[in-house]
Amino acid sequence: MTGDASFLDPHKEINTTSVIVADHFFDALVERDPRTMATIPSLAASWDIIDSLTYVFHLRHGVRFHDGVELTARDVKYSFDRILDPDFSNRVRTYATAIDSVNVIDDYTVEIKLKTAYAPIINRMASFYIVPQHYVEAIGDEEFNRNPMGSGPYRFVEWVRDDHITMVANEDYWRGAPNIKNVVFRAIPDGSTRMAALLSGEAHLADTISADDVPAVERANCCYVGTSDSNTMYYMTFNSSNAPFDDVRVRRALSYAIDWDEILELFGGHATRIPFPSMPTDFGYAGIAERLEGLIYAYDPERARELLAEAGFSSGLHVKLMGPAGRYPSGENVIQAVANQLEQIGVTTDIEILEWGVFYGEMYAAGLQRDLTLGSMSNPLFDPDHLMATNFDPRRSAFYFHSEELTSLIDEGMEETDPALRTEIYARAMAYLLDQAAYIWGYQVGRVYGLSNEIVWIPRVDGRIFIDEASWAD
C-alpha cells in the first residue's frame, strides 16, 4: 500500500487506505457490485422506500461478529448513533448529515428517517460500517481503534503503525470463508520500494504502479499488470481564504497557466483530462459535460499574465506548493511540472513534499498556510453530491471555497429526485465553480497494479482492494 491507515475504527476516517482496511473487518448495509458498481444488498437483504424521508432495511439472519455474537438491528442503530454523535470526533459524519434518526423495529428490521430528501441515500449506505455495540461499549473507543472487530471476511491480528496490518480469514464469514487465509497490508510509500517488493516476491500485490514501472512488470516472469478505469480525480487546490488566492483573478490566472496536455504525457497513456468536478463514472456526467462546453480553461499563458497584472502582480508572485510523497501516481513529477509551468507566467514556487500521514494532517489543519496543493478525491458514491459536498459544503467540508449560492445549489441537487433536473442543477453548480476558478481541475489516472502470478485478482473502478475477491492461482 502507498501508506498506512489513519485509523482502524471504521467510523473515524474516510481516506482510501483506511477504508480499504475497514472493508476487511466490517460490513455495511449495502455494497457495490465489483464489476458494475451497482448498489447491491450486503447486511441488508432488502429494503423498502416508504416515502422520501423513510427507509426500512431488512437484515440478514445469522450474521455474526468475529466473537460469535449475532449482528442485529440494535448494532445498526448504535453504529449510526455513534457516527451522528457530535461528541464523537469523526469524518464519516460528513456523509450522514441528511439522517435524522435510526429506529429499531425488531431484531432484523431498522428504520432510517431523513431530515430532508436525499436522492443518493441508498448508495450512501455503503459508507457506513456496522460495529458491535457490546464490544465497543466494553472496551471503549480508543481500544476499539487499536483492536477492531466486526463481521467482515477477515479478523484483526496486529497493527504496527506505519509498517503493517495483519489479518486472518474469518472462517465463519456469512458469505463463506475467503480463499486467501493470511493477509498483511504493508505501508510502502516509496514507489520504487513497492516495485522491488513485488519483483522480489515479498509482495503479491503492489498498489499504484507508475507508468515508468509498467514495462518492468510486463517483462518480469513473476508478475503481471492489472488495470481498471478509475473514480479518482487529481487537482490543485487553492487556499482561497487568504491572499493572493482570495482574488478570483489570481485563481483564474493559474487555471490558464497549466498545460494539462503536457502533464498527461507523464502517465504514458494511462491518464485523461478531467476539467470540472465530475468523472465519466458519475451520475449525469454526459449531460453536465455538454452544458459546460465553452467554460473550460484552456492553456493560455498570455491570458494568465494579463490576469496577474490586473490583480497587481505584474512583477510576479511567489507561492508555496505542497504534495504527498509516493501517494499519487507520478505525483512528484506532476508537482514539478506545475511549478515549471507557473514559472513561465512569473510565478515562482517553494515545493514541499510530505510523507502521507503528515500531508493528510496538513490538508485538514486549521489555518493551513500552503497556497497551492496537489490533492485527490475518489467518488465512492458515483454521484456529484459526493465531490460537491465534501469539498464545497461548509457544513460537511474542511476546505476553503464556500458560498451561499453554491451551498444552495448543493442542497437542491441533494434533494431533487428527478434525474434530468438533478443533472441541470449540478451543471449550474459546476459552471459556478469554473467561473470562480475554485480549484484547478486536473486529470484522472487509470488504476494500475502490479500482481504476482501466484494470485488472481481483478481491479475495481472504485479503487477498493478486497482480498476476499482474490484467490490463489491454480
306 and 438 inside one domain: yes
Q: Is residue 203 a part of any domain in this protein?
A: no
Q: Is residue 162 a part of any domain in this protein?
A: no
131 and 243 inside one domain: no
Owning domain of residue 66: 16-146
Q: Please give the tally of structural domains in the chain.
A: 2
Q: Is 432 exposed, middle or buried (0-12, 13-18, 19+ CB in 10 A)?
A: middle
**pLDDT at 364 (0 to 100):** 64
244 and 140 inside one domain: no
Q: Is residue 94 a part of any domain in this protein?
A: yes
244 cis-preceded (ω within 30 degrees of 0)? yes
CATH of the domain at 242: 3.10.105.10
Of 146, 170, 185, the last residue of a domain is 146
Q: For 467, which DSSP code?
A: G
CATH of the domain at 95: 3.90.76.10
Of 119, 146, 173, the last residue of a domain is 146
Strand 271-273 with 347-354, pairing? unpaired
Name the strand (E) or helix (H) holding 101: strand 99-106
Q: Is residue 223 a part of any domain in this protein?
A: no
Q: Helices 404-415 & 384-392, crossing angle to 10 degrees?
A: 150
241 and 115 inside one domain: no
Q: In terms of DSSP H, where are the helices of 243-293?
A: 248-257, 260-264, 285-291
The count of residues in the chain is 474
In tens digits, what is the pLDDT along the chain, a chain of 474 residues?
Answer: 888 999 999 999 888 899 999 999 999 999 999 999 999 999 999 999 999 999 999 999 999 999 999 999 999 999 999 999 999 999 899 899 999 999 999 999 999 999 999 999 999 999 999 999 999 999 999 999 999 999 999 999 999 999 999 999 999 999 999 999 999 999 998 889 999 999 999 999 999 888 889 999 999 999 999 999 999 999 999 998 889 999 999 999 999 999 999 999 999 888 999 999 999 999 999 999 999 999 999 999 999 999 999 999 999 999 999 999 888 989 999 999 999 999 999 999 999 999 877 887 777 665 555 799 999 999 999 999 999 988 898 877 656 688 999 999 999 999 999 999 999 999 999 999 999 999 999 999 999 999 999 999 999 999 999 999 999 998
Q: Is residue 191 a part of any domain in this protein?
A: no
Of 146, 180, 197, the last residue of a domain is 146
281 and 142 inside one domain: no
Q: Is residue 47 a part of any domain in this protein?
A: yes
131 and 238 inside one domain: no
139 and 242 inside one domain: no
Q: Is residue 360 a part of any domain in this protein?
A: yes
**pLDDT at 359 (0 to 100):** 84
Q: Is residue 220 a part of any domain in this protein?
A: no
Name the strand (E) or helix (H) holding 233: strand 232-238
